[in-house]
Amino acid sequence: MFETIYVNFMLLLVIPLILFMIYVGPFILVFSSIIFVLTRKSIDVFSRILIVIIILLITFLLFITLIKFNDKPSEYYSKMKQINDSKSIVGLSKDEVENKLGEPGKIKEAENMYLYNAGTLFRDVTFVNHYDLWVKTYYYALFVYFDENDIVKSTSLKESLEFYVP
């Protein structure tokens, strides 16, 4: 029983220490290197500045490699993107489009265009896949363009400036 308590205690002590060194250790190394370079009297000022710039540049490049961009589309966005990419509604009439996609949210008769909600895309930026730096939501709309005979000539999926509810 004492061994189990000892092992659990060591795991509770060692694992956070290892994680701390993995994530904080490089920053400690960089700042200690900069302090070491700046306190050397045998190195002239120009060389000190150059070494500090190189250390900061290497640190910045390492930091950038640890940042990940993750896109998480909603199910509805995926469906609308597939419709847009496959051009599956090109050649359909207005009635067939309404049967397939439902009532359009906005109709612009002057441009002969229907507008549909195409869902959302969530983009999160993480550091080392654990720490969220920021999350942004993008709203999309599916534009369906008709020719003079009310037949779909093209579609496009564009980011919408407003949250669109049909």
Per DSSP, the chain holds a count of helices (H) and strands (E) of 4, 5
The per-residue pLDDT for range 30-52, each reduced to its tens digit, is 777 777 777 777 778 788 788 88
The per-residue pLDDT for range 53-62, each reduced to its tens digit, is 888 888 787 7
| Mean pLDDT computed over 14-35 | 74
Return the pLDDT at 10: 65
Confidence of residue 4 (pLDDT cuts 50, 70, 90): low
Element (H, E) at 114: strand 113-127
166 pLDDT more than 70: no
Instruction: In whole angstroms, give the CA distance from residue 111 to residue 102.
Output: 20
Instruction: In whole angstroms, give the CA distance from residue 99 to residue 71.
Output: 30
